[in-house]
Structure 1
């Protein structure tokens, strides 16, 4: 559809349908910059926490809230904000999110107490959820040519993936020269650019017949997502307790209520009919799995680099650069292959390569395996790049234009869930193996507090070993490192098996699928 200047319900200032011009590509730059910052704020505090702790003296619980509240609210509000953008206008929602993100970043940078920093991170999460769904759904309105749309989605995907991986690198560089608040202030100039150029370069679109916004469904959506993400994070932190289990079960139960309401509601937040399309549902499942792999890999390898190899945070983060390069290569190769090969073949190949990368990482040893880790991670991200481009393109191409915001939110929510599950599942597997094996090297007579610390993390075990005399100290350090490495090997082998199984399933499910976008006018 093309809007007219006096259209009362559907604004659409996009260029005539056909090939995009430089105007749309410049608009894409604004979109990708927003994507990079939203993703960076998930991981930018990985290395800044010690500096925050030294300045604000938060409790252990407050540190966890500082780290987690952003991702909680980002994941919990994506579906709601995607549906809201379809109703009030996607560009308008993006502009509101950009303004909120900039203000919250300043508040976070100059927080004078843990409580204020937690509140600021919560506002960042709300603003990030407001920004994110509009970015992908606007691409649906700006790029109608299949090849150009796929290239634009590739850049959007690269923005999100590179942002998550560049977060620790950016923090490492800034913390070498500035105070911890600088990791938030870098958001401000980019958001100012978005606020200035967005109204000029980005089209506005909202549903020509907007439905009533269902506040109760929005509350159910948040109540379903937050407990599941919370429980997954507790599992990842080693809290295999009733609170984590109850949280996940409660979230899933509310999720069932949410889906039932969407099926019966005349004004649903998400159109459950989208999942009747095999291509759409398979693409959502596939993006969940690749995010599971990538975030799980980042968590495991960062711990290995810091705790086993003893690298400084900045140096450890710089070793992620080869994986970032191969991610872009994977996106490029997928874009070329998609013009000649069906999605099933590309997605299956990408998942197989990602699984092979995990298998390579399982060859790592406790006495130094940086080359193995970098090689395996690079193979894995190459495969992830191939998969995520095609899967996201399928989501965008198969969703009706008036539902693009909701479809985009579903895609990004699957990313958040996949990442949380990957960190939780692979982290829990590695931790379980570590705890079982480290029992064999804990010296007799070790105080109970020191023994519990040794079982909790490798970092704590190394610190305990430094307090012990020879030969007990070096034996505990070496034994705990070997236990951690064994846990990493089991976790990545598990991830490899999952990726290979999903590769076969995706090949079967997507075999008859060709990507054909809805005609522009529908």
Structure 2
């Protein structure tokens, strides 16, 4: 192919449009983590059960994951810009509803609506970037900024949440979304081109229902198994979700216009990068839900101080993301990802081995530096190894893996950590304190702190000491599980990509 001419190179209009695309991506990713530091406040004000607390966090990711591929197909039919603008308006409205929620049930519903709206963002922005940037070098740089926006949003979510919670009501973490989406609605029609695939097929509603049902049933069943043990209903729900998922995959192989193109999974680099990305997100989000509570309720930092404590994590992620492409230019991309995963596993292990702020901060720095190549180079592999006409589907699958795995990490590792916490709390329950109060203290660490506020000083101190120790043990256990997962991902990538030419295009 000949070099690009000036007519095909992006102008200031396209680069400004890229900034417009990056803003909703940043907010969309930030909403996965911005609530973590608000958990103690939410526990005190809304008094959710432990199950409701987990649903408040993870239903956003579940709904994003369930609708991502659907929204990719819908954008092909009605136009990517139109879908993005509709999603931005919906996202702003759902954010206002979440900010005004006065019950746990209403907040769960609002988070579900946010997830539905958020699913319009990733596939729409990726398709528009490919349509706006025709020069290969410029498009690669634009995709890097797109990936950085998602990564940075996830990293700075706790810091932004900490700053807002220090001065405002917890609902402020949602009000922040409204002006960003409003700016997208104002500038989008002026700076973003419309893109519609003239060859796009019809939206298969049966596939939409099957994909969403498979995600929600499977995750709900796994949550119940982790939280309540091996109950028949929990197993039945999980198996039903897996069965629906099998029906969905079977249908995708038989219909003319599938939501999920199964041919993408024939390419080893695509599968390896997707698996590494998913496992890393699962471990990261599962640990993060405990880490943020540990900072506030065990180390007793203010929300702002806790947010500042996560700043080295965020900065290390930015540094790692910027350094990863340079490393990939000098060494094979598979090697960079494997070394990054090994470093991340060491970071998780450091967190599992110690306690206190002086262990947590270095551990998160090592974790972030190791995970950054997986997020940046892994996404680049996913996008570039897919055929050009399937890049939008590949992007949707990448985000599906991220959101689904992140939510699954919160559900599975979060529930498993609460089992460890409740077991330690019950074993060290203070003498003289009624056992009938154990369920309230065991629902969450915030519940134990709230209970201690109404007890005599000596009894309260004994309860808090036990609760803090139990929660620290839970954090260390989950960090150890994360280390095993990430190390397993390193082995998997090394095995799958041994001797594979990453520059080879997939064959169909």
Q: TM-score higher than 0.5 here? A: yes
Residue pair 2:89, 2:185 contacting (<8 A) in 1 also: yes
Mapped to 2, the partners of 1:351 and 1:146 lie a distance apart of 29
2:287·2:478 contact (CA, 8 Å) conserved in 1?
A: no
SS of the residue 2:330 aligns to:
coil
- How many residues are paired up? 504
Q: Is the 8 A contact 1:78 1:130 kept in 2?
A: yes
- Worse-matched range after superposition: 283-292 or 457-466: 457-466
Choose the corresponding residue for 1:29, options 19, 29, 35: 19
- Cα distance, 1:467–1:92 mapped onto 2, change above 3 Å: closer
Distance in 1 between residues matched to 2:254 and 2:448, nearest whole Å: 54
Residues 254 and 508 of structure 1: is their aligned pair in 2 closer, same or farther, counting only changes over 3 Å? same
Aligned partners of 2:244 and 2:177: how far apart in 1?
A: 35
1:222-247 deviation digits (Å, cap 9, x = unpaired): 111122333455567x4446354443
Following the alignment from structure 1 to structure 2, what is the Cα–Cα distance between the partners of residues 78 and 432? 32
* 2:378 corresponding residue in structure 1: 391
The answer on 1:289 being equivalent to 2:279 is: yes
Whether the aligned pair in 1 keeps the contact of 2:272 and 2:497 (CA below 8 Å) is yes
Secondary structure of the residue that 1:42 maps to in structure 2?
coil
Equivalent residue for 2:218? 228
Q: Which residue in 1 is equivalent to 2:62?
A: 72
Please report how far the alpha carbon of residue 514 of structure 1 lies from its aligned counterpart in structure 2 after TM superposition: 4.8
1:129-165, CA deviations, whole angstroms, 9 ceiling, x for partnerless residues? Answer: 1122212333333445555444333322232232233
2:389 to 402, 409, 429: 402
Residue aligning to 1:448? 435
- The CA distance in 2 between the partners of 1:504 and 1:113, in whole Å, is 45
Cα RMSD for the two superposed structures: 3.3
Does residue 119 of structure 2 align to residue 129 of structure 1?
yes
Measured at CA, do residues 330 and 26 of structure 1 come closer, stay the same or move farther in structure 2, by a change above 3 Å?
A: same
- Give 1:165's aligned residue: 155
Deviating more after overlay: 475-484 vs 63-72: 63-72
In 1: Cα distance, 2:354 partner to 2:149 partner = 30
Match of 2:410 among 423, 430, 450: 423
Bigger shift: residues 375-384 or 190-199: 190-199
Structure 2 residue 411 is matched with structure 1 residue 411: no
Seen in structure 2, the aligned counterparts of structure 1 residues 429 and 54 have a Cα distance that, compared at 3 Å, is closer
User: Equivalent of 2:268, from 278, 301, 317?
Assistant: 278
Matched, 1:375 2:362: yes
CA contact (8 A) 2:29 2:153 kept: yes
Q: Shift in Å at residue 342 of structure 1?
A: 1.8
Aligned equivalent of 2:491: 504
| Mapping for residues 54-453 of structure 1, pairs under 5 Å | 66-110=56-100, 119-143=109-133, 147-234=137-224, 238-240=227-229, 242=231, 243-365=233-355, 369-453=356-440
Could you state the TM-score of these two structures normalised by the residue count of structure 1?
0.85
SS of residue in 1 equivalent to 2:427? coil
Deviation track 1:147-201 (CA, whole Å, cap 9, x = no partner) reads 5444333322232232233333333333444444433332222223222332343
Residue deviations 1:434-489 (CA, integer Å, cap 9, x gap): 34444432244532212334444444445556666687654443344333323322
1:215 deviates by 0.8
SS of alignment partner, residue 354 of structure 2: coil
What secondary structure does 1:362 align onto?
A: helix
- Distance change (3 Å), C-alpha of 1:518 and 1:31: farther
Aligned partners of 1:285 and 1:407: how far apart in 2?
13
Q: How far apart in 1 are the matches of 2:389 and 2:197?
A: 5
Name the structure 2 match of 1:8. none
Q: Is the 8 A contact 2:347 2:363 kept in 1?
A: yes
Q: What's the counterpart of residue 491 of structure 1?
A: 478
Unaligned runs of 5+ in 2: none
State whether residues 344 and 513 of structure 1, in contact with CA within 8 Å, keep that contact through their aligned partners in structure 2: no
Query: Residue 437 and residue 195 in structure 1: after superposition, are their counterparts in 2 closer, same or farther (change >3 A)?
Result: closer
CA contact (8 A) 2:68 2:396 kept: yes
Alpha carbons of 1:178 and 1:465: their partners in 2 closer, same or farther (altered >3 Å)? closer
Give the superposition deviation at 1:259.
0.3
Determine if contact 2:284/2:482 at 8 Å carries over to the other structure. no
Give the Cα separation in 1 of the matches to 2:297 and 2:101.
30
Answer yes or no: is the 8 Å Cα contact 1:48–1:175 preserved in 2: yes
Alpha-carbon distance, 1:106 to partner: 3.6
Counterpart-to-counterpart distance in 1, 2:279 and 2:7? 34
**CA-CA distance at 1:503 after TM superposition:** 0.7
Deviation at 1:257, TM superposition (A): 0.6
Secondary structure at 1:212 match in 2: coil
Structure 2 length-normalised TM: 0.88
1:268-320: CA deviation from partner (whole Å, max 9, x where unpaired): 11110110111111121111011112212311211221222111222212211
**Is the CA contact 2:62–2:407 (under 8 Å) kept in the aligned structure 1?**
no
Structure 1 residues 344 and 437: CA distance shift in structure 2, 3 A? same
| Residue 100 of structure 1, CA deviation | 1.9
**Range that drifts further, 291-300 or 475-484:** 475-484
Contact 1:233 1:420 in 2 (8 A): no
Alpha-carbon distance in structure 1 between the residues aligned to 2:238 and 2:152:
29
Please state how far the C-alpha of 1:260 moved relative to its aligned partner.
0.5
The secondary structure found in structure 2 opposite 1:339 is helix
The separation in 1 between residues aligned to 2:205 and 2:182, in whole angstroms, is: 31
